[in-house]
């Protein structure tokens, strides 16, 4: 090999080295750019707002007849909304007449006793904003076993228990408004 050939080969080798280094530099810059763009996380998520503010409500409690006879059964129509239709609603109904109070189910102050709440069979409606409408009819047998010409005042406390302890339970107390907005049932 002559010096001239050696010199040409050396130039080719240097040119090849420069080309390889340029390609490596370009590839490194592209990789660094992808890494930079992929790792920049400026997005801050907004705080979570649940789709509904309260998972349970009782919107109405009303007796179906304003005047009943002694010994009749009082029927209460109750309605509200709930977020989880698989859970139970436990009503505790209180009927007061003067100095006497009849309690259907266990009073809310002593829920840990062995008594059970009133049986509630609910009818589930359609969902609106994540809440399902529900309604039921509650029979109060024996509530009218009082003296004639007595007025009865009815109140209800409804417990709704969710599955997760973080969701907690919800308790709603509501007074009877009656079929014609009369707040009492008159026993004749």
Superfamily of domain covering 56-180: Immunoglobulins (2.60.40.10)
* Six-digit token string for 99: 């100095």
CA distances for 51 relative to 81, 86, 128, 130, 131, angstroms? 14, 18, 10, 7, 9
Q: Which residues contact 63 (CB under 8 A, 6 or more apart)?
A: 74, 75, 76, 77, 154, 176, 178, 179, 185
Q: What is the pLDDT of residue 132?
A: 85
Task: State the Cα–Cα distance between residues 39 and 31, nearest whole angstrom.
Answer: 12
Task: State the Cα–Cα distance between residues 119 and 104, nearest whole angstrom.
Answer: 10
The answer to whether the beta carbons of residues 172 and 57 sit under 8 Å apart is yes
Going from N- to C-terminal start, the domains of the chain cover 1-43, 56-180
Q: What is the pLDDT of residue 119?
A: 62
Query: Chain centroid to CA 38: how far?
Result: 38
Segment-wise mean pLDDT, segments of 10 residues, the chain, 188 residues: 67 84 92 79 68 72 84 86 79 78 57 50 76 85 80 82 55 69 73
């Amino acid at each position: 090999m002559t010096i001239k050939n050696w010199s040409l080969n050396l130039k080719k080798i240097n040119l090849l080295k420069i080309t390889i280094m340029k390609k490596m530099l370009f590839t490194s810059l592209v990789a660094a750019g992808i890494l930079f763009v992929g790792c920049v996380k400026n997005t801050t998520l907004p705080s979570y707002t649940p789709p509904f503010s309260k998972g349970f409500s009782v919107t109405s409690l009303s007796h179906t007849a304003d005047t009943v006879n002694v010994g009749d059964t009082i029927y209460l129509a109750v309605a509200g909304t709930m977020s989880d239709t698989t859970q139970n609603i436990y009503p505790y109904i209180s009927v007061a007449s003067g100095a006497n109070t009849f309690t259907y189910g266990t009073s809310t102050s002593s829920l840990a006793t062995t008594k059970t709440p009133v049986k509630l069979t609910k009818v589930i409606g359609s969902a609106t904003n994540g809440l399902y409408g529900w309604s039921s009819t509650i029979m109060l047998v024996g509530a009218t076993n009082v003296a004639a010409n007595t007025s009865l005042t009815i109140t209800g406390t409804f417990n709704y228990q969710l599955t997760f302890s973080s969701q907690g339970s919800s308790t709603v107390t509501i007074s009877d408004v009656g079929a014609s907005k009369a707040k009492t049932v008159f026993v004749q």
